[in-house]
Structure 1
Amino acid sequence: MITLAEGRWPTSEGDTLPAVAGFVESTFSPLAAEVARRCLQSAEPIAETAVIIVSSTGDLATAQATARAVDGGIRPGPLLFFQAVPNAIAGYIAAKWDLRGPVVCLSPAEPDLAEGLAVADLLFLDGDAHQALIISVEQATSVGERDTARAVLVKGAV
């Protein structure tokens, strides 16, 4: 597999995360969108590019916000329902960058790109995609930690 481009967040202590319209109360989707932008702005993705989201924990903040609402007897807002699955931001990224390959979301036991790369390889072998944008997002789970995200654009070996 050949890496064409890469994007990371954060890249500095002062790195700030841009908001994404329609995604609220969580950094998960803005993280995915931002590392995708950082990765793809320096590359030339083709239409047959798959979007693969990988996260060992998923969107913790949205799950917690939904649980708080339910526990408090409050109906969760419709945006929380919309963003409750990573497919929402994967579809947003695909539409924004005109990527028309498959969209896949994975939750591996360990926070890394290995399973995303394995799925990309299968998509290449099947002819379902010619490139893959693999995005790993992990939200901080304790005080003092920072959210992290990484995106790679890859293509199969020639």
Structure 2
Amino acid sequence: MTGTRSTAEATLGARVVDARWPESDVDTLPSIPGFILSDFTPLVAAVAERCLRVHHGEPPADPARAARTGLVLASARGDTTTLRIVTEAVAAGRRVPPLLFFQSNPNAVLGHVAARWGLGGPVVCVSPTGDPMADALACAELLIDAGDADEAVVVVAELGEDGDQTGGAEALLVTAEGRA
């Protein structure tokens, strides 16, 4: 990831904060009301929360800054657990828990993070075909260049092969400060 950080700094001028999940073998994901059966949402929310806490302190963030803070999520596979559960239920003719329709949209977790922190900037989710962090940083750069945000929390998250948190996540908070 060292090359990724250099790209963020060169492209956006400043990488203010970075965070990872997990940081240790004892990290456990918090449950989030309204999100069920999958570790994807808690994984994204936990790494974004770590990043935002370092930069903004306790939620909500300062309204003047938060109004121009965007969120970008990149995940090549997305929430594979929710996809599997819905697919199996439909194939078997079983009722699908209604919350799974809500949580199957990756914007839902970013909406949760934005509401908790009072963020008013754009929310973007991408499914990259190349380097997920590079794609997410390119989206953040577009948001900042277009004047839609002054900073962005960029999250890359993947569930493990078994659909659990073992895949991990990384978040960077980037700004245009210091840019020529």
After TM superposition, list the pairs within 5 Å mapping 1:12-31 onto structure 2: 12-31=24-43
Matched, 1:80 2:92: no
Higher helix share: 2
Matched, 1:133 2:153: yes
Cα root mean square deviation, aligned: 1.8
Matched, 1:11 2:31: no
Q: Residues 145, 154 of structure 1: CA spacing in aligned structure 2 closer, same or farther, 3 A cutoff? A: closer
- Aligned partner (choices 58, 79, 86) of residue 78 of structure 2: 58
Separation in 1 of the partners of 2:119 and 2:164? 36
- What CA deviation, in whole Å up to 9, does each residue of 1:73-108 have, x standing for no partner? 112111000001100001111111111000000000
- Aligned partner (choices 108, 120, 126) of residue 100 of structure 1: 120
CA contact (8 A) 1:111 1:138 kept: no
Q: Percent identity?
A: 42
Structure 2 unaligned residues grouped into runs of 5+: 1-11
* Aligned amino acid, residue 114 of structure 1: A
Three-state SS of the structure 1 residue aligned to 2:113 is helix
Separation in 2 of the partners of 1:144 and 1:125? 36
CA contact (8 A) 2:39 2:164 kept: no
* Aligned amino acid, residue 39 of structure 2: T
CA contact (8 A) 1:50 1:131 kept: yes
Three-state SS of the structure 1 residue aligned to 2:132 is coil
Aligned positions, number:
158
